[in-house]
Structure 1
């Protein structure tokens, strides 16, 4: 069977796997039928590693074509291995012109572009998933309510995280590659007694650089958490099985899965493992654990 003879349903399913940039470059203008099909399809647009000339041409096309902008439900902008791509994109378009955008990913942005992006976030009414993989993003300047449900960020201080949770009340999934308390001791009296992230179900922290006490204070903001994944290295403050058991029992009563990867020196491994296994059996949770030896 020839490609042109395939039914529309199969072609639409096939086109759905394409990055919008590649889809239009490959099929736009071939014939009337394909032109119609690629213009009714929800599009995900990933500009990471995009050819500079293709990037510029597609941005110009979108700036003149509202219907094309309305097709895009996912957008990825990146300065990684590119020359000021995000700045160039924002010179063509505003994020709030994408009225059906549900997912936005930003990689390696600078402070100027970050400020512009933050100013637009609240006006993207359908946005539910946000990924910021950049060490230079001013989360502490977010001061409007965002109805984000899924958030992935590269680096965050604990005080910034408190502020983020205050402005994202519907958050269900949070992935932080590195969380740092900046050596600061947090006082429970300065925090709201009402948890601010009651909808959060899953938390992943790739590198936890906080004291246990600060983390204990923090989890009071996420009482309905069901899945907790943590990795930390050479942080002996985190190697007290009894403290973890008490923390989960008191502050995380709905926890189902605790997946942790703790790196420590060899002589502390046995006690940690036995203590954690005891806690696992006692609480009847599904736990996974891994210890790296140094």
Structure 2
């Protein structure tokens, strides 16, 4: 069987789809030499999930040598590499799908879009900019020669103005699916109006500080063929007008089947009359909405200055297809099973005991505002609404933890791969009792944590504790004071038995780190790069 499999694997007729996660540097170099290089002509799909591996790959291979490549997914492409990459992709006759995450600022996004729209067979394109998008105007397409006649799916995961998005859409007349983010603060003149997209059926838009009037102009000329509309809005109460929505849908989107709407009000939002006068029970409840099975709910936290509840999230319930769900302080009385959500955030002091909603597929949990500190029955409560054993990612935001709470939490979440602390607070870090020591040892034998992020307040004592607790740790991100840098580097990099090969240090100087490593001879074959506000070590 092994010989048959080997013959099948090495056959030139057998195409390969490669997904290369971040591994140790030596392992990645081995895969480049023995897996990628001999099979360049057989690879039809390639995914690289980290800036360091993407950068090394682009410096080692020319993408136009992958003559059968159809799909490319790169996370962490720099501006120095992207234009050349797109130019070479244009020579590939089978290439149809591109997903790029960019890590630095762009001075002229128009050049990027020009290169993308010249890809001869492109059907799917996803662009993610980790920083804010380019604010420079984008010229409108003048004639058909400037347009991309093959692109059907376009995802622009960055904030742009209406005028910029309008201009981009003049290049994509065959578009059927669009996702974009619109920001009023970046908006310039939209008098020219958006491009008319005759084939668009699915539209997803996040918008910030945008009025209903502006969005209405954008939507009316977009497409009468829309069957799916998903909107996430904030900072403007004009979107609460159910009558305006009814008229807009009846007159301009007659084929709409799914209307998924969420409006978020954060404590920083300016309060206008549309928000203060908003009463959920007397809007969006006419037969227009019920006949289409479009229903809505809201959650709130009480206003400290008023006995009346203050709404904070208003959202569609049926059909509910969002992957991220938030529970605040309002209690859901309706028994709902939400299968689509994979990420649950619990804000404030959520009373999960009386929450009847169930989320069977949650793999990522975020806890905010000292939930654990004030709810001694957390494990029992949370297990009623999610399957806690399925969790793979746990994020603790503004949590004040004691050792016993952490022990309890990790005892029941043994399948977690990634653990994140926004800040590090341990109320009783020392000394550990014999019972606590035994429990920590038991957890260390079972837990699967390979990624740990301590974004602020990390100390050497914290790291000693977690290195002992998480012996399988591979990726570590820390926010530390400069005075602790040398002692922490010596501790982490001198441990030859450790599985660690990736270290991100937030807000630190690259030259200082390099100097310590070389002076103390802590590493030999390593890479060190800027990654947004962090310095990333890889060995």
Q: What TM-score results when the alignment is normalised by the length of structure 2? A: 0.41
CA distance in 2, matches of 1:164, 1:205: 15
How many residue pairs end up in the alignment? 254
Say if 1:184 and 1:160 are closer, same or farther in 2 by CA, change over 3 A. closer
1:45 to 18, 26, 42: 18
Q: Where do residues 29-68 of structure 1 align in structure 2 (5 Å cutoff)?
A: 31-39=2-10, 40-61=13-34, 64-65=37-38, 68=39
Where does structure 1 lack aligned partners over 5 or more consecutive residues?
5-30
CA distance in 1, matches of 2:178, 2:34: 34
1:248 equivalent to 2:249? Answer yes
**Equivalent residue, structure 2, for 1:14:** none
1:87 to 50, 55, 58: 55
CA distance in 2, matches of 1:223, 1:121: 34
CA distance in 2, matches of 1:209, 1:50: 41
Q: Which has the higher contact order (CA 8 A, sep 6+)?
A: 1
CA distance in 2, matches of 1:33, 1:256: 50
CA distance in 1, matches of 2:285, 2:89: 44
Q: Are the aligned partners of 2:163 and 2:188 in contact in 1 as well (CA < 8 Å)?
A: no
Say what the alpha-carbon RMSD is for the aligned residues: 3.3
CA distance in 2, matches of 1:286, 1:98: 48
Q: Where do residues 17-32 of structure 1 align in structure 2 (5 Å cutoff)?
A: 31-32=2-3
Deviations 1:257-292 (A, max 9, x none): 111111247744425x6432327438x435354544
Q: Rg bigger for which structure? A: 2
**Equivalent residue, structure 2, for 1:285:** 292
CA distance in 1, matches of 2:189, 2:293: 30
Give the Å deviation of 1:218: 2.0
SS in 1 for 2:77: coil
SS in 1 for 2:283: helix
Q: Are the aligned partners of 1:133 and 1:154 in contact in 2 as well (CA < 8 Å)?
A: no
Q: What TM-score results when the alignment is normalised by the length of structure 1? A: 0.70
1:167 equivalent to 2:164? Answer no
Say if 1:199 and 1:213 are closer, same or farther in 2 by CA, change over 3 A. same
Where does structure 2 lack aligned partners over 5 or more consecutive residues?
119-147, 266-270, 300-310, 313-539
**Equivalent residue, structure 1, for 2:469:** none
CA distance in 2, matches of 1:221, 1:50: 44
Q: Are the aligned partners of 2:176 and 2:200 in contact in 1 as well (CA < 8 Å)?
A: yes
**Equivalent residue, structure 2, for 1:259:** 260
2:190 to 183, 187, 212: 187
**Equivalent residue, structure 1, for 2:440:** none
CA distance in 1, matches of 2:72, 2:288: 38
SS in 2 for 1:276: coil
**Equivalent residue, structure 1, for 2:199:** 199
SS in 1 for 2:59: helix
SS in 1 for 2:84: helix
Deviations 1:132-183 (A, max 9, x none): 444647543212344333333321313332233233333322333x332434
**Equivalent residue, structure 2, for 1:150:** 153
Deviations 1:29-82 (A, max 9, x none): xx43212323444433223424433333333456644xx334433332344xx5
Q: Are the aligned partners of 2:240 and 2:278 in contact in 1 as well (CA < 8 Å)?
A: no
Give the Å deviation of 1:88: 1.9
Q: Are the aligned partners of 1:231 and 1:261 in contact in 2 as well (CA < 8 Å)?
A: yes
